[in-house]
Amino acid sequence: MAERIGLPESSCVVVMRAEEKPARPLTEILREIAPLEENDLLAEDGAGRALMIKAGKDPEEIAEFALALIDTLEGEGGLRLKAGVSGVHHAPEEWPAGYREALEALEIGDRFHPRAQVQLYGHQLLERMTERIPTETRREMRRQIFGDHPEQILTEEVLETAEHFFAADLNLSVAAREMFVHRNTLTYRLDRIQRETGLNLRTFRDAVIFRMLTMMSEDE
């Protein structure tokens, strides 16, 4: 049906949100600078956010497009944006579900990855799983590993080290290069995390446990 009426056969829904209210409607600004293709659609969602139906089969490519757009807006107009990208959908009837996915991606990103500018719904399965763990269970699990004062263990340096190490797929050399530190420095930090938590982040099992626990909030 999409092909017959000239709509994209595959697309992702992108919801873009300005961190501060812009002087003009966000869709108006985007129409001036966004390199939209023939089958792309752009509209307001009724809450001041921009809703884009972006043709394509690869959410990661569409996320790169959204990030480039955000960088352009920030560089040219100082407008800070965040975006949520849905999974792939194949018919207009699926766009409402895509819109809900993109919104949820934004909301989950705010809670788990507040510094990230673009969030992909398809990359957030672990985050959605952790949110379904009851609060009391979260508290007990975190207390088991981090004790009664997790803030003393989960310092900014520890969290940054773990984040880079996980982003590098547990590759020590790659993580050290991305962090601009010596490999021995990273090794020392990982050893210290192991001494304080009992978790060796070099192993997949312990890395997953640490990742889930640090993503969990003890409060609703």
Name the residue range of residue 174's domain: 133-215
Domain end residue (candidates: 127, 158, 182): 127
179 and 151 in one domain? yes
186 and 116 in one domain? no
- DSSP for 67-83, please give it: HHHHHHHHHHH---EEE
Domain end residue (candidates: 127, 155, 186): 127
Mean pLDDT of the chain: 89
Task: Specify the residue for token string 């579900």.
Answer: 97
The pLDDT value given to residue 169: 94
CATH number of the domain enclosing 149: 1.10.10.2840
The pLDDT value given to residue 7: 67
182 and 165 in one domain? yes
150 and 123 in one domain? no
Q: Name the pTM for this structure.
A: 0.78
The residue type of 219 is D
27 and 90 in one domain? yes
CATH number of the domain enclosing 46: 3.30.70.270
- Is 6 domain-assigned? no
The pLDDT value given to residue 135: 87
- Is 5 domain-assigned? no
45 and 86 in one domain? yes
Domain end residue (candidates: 127, 162, 188): 127
195 and 99 in one domain? no
86 and 179 in one domain? no
Helix 26-33 with 59-77: angle, nearest 10 deg: 100
122 and 17 in one domain? yes
The DSSP letter of residue 49 is: -
Chain centroid to CA 49:
18
55 and 25 in one domain? yes
Chain centroid to CA 93:
26
- Whether the Cβ atoms of residue 12 and residue 87 lie closer than 8 Å to each other: yes
Q: How many domains does the chain have?
A: 2
Q: Mean pLDDT for each consecutive 10-residue tract of the chain (220 residues)?
A: 56 93 86 83 88 92 94 84 95 94 95 90 92 89 91 93 94 94 95 96 95 76
The pLDDT value given to residue 219: 55
119 pairs with which residues across the strands?
A: 84
Give tens-digit pLDDT for 68-95: 999 988 887 778 999 999 999 998 999 9
Taking CB atoms within 8 Å and a gap of at least 24, the contacts of 87-93 are 87/12, 87/59, 87/121, 87/122, 88/10, 88/11, 88/12, 88/56, 88/57, 88/58, 88/59, 89/10, 89/11, 89/12, 89/13, 90/2, 90/9, 90/10, 90/11, 91/1, 91/2, 92/1, 92/2, 92/7
Q: How far apart are CA 119 and CA 130, in angstroms?
A: 17
Q: How far apart are CA 200 and CA 193, in angstroms?
A: 7
117 and 178 in one domain? no
Task: Specify the residue for token string 């509209």.
Answer: 43
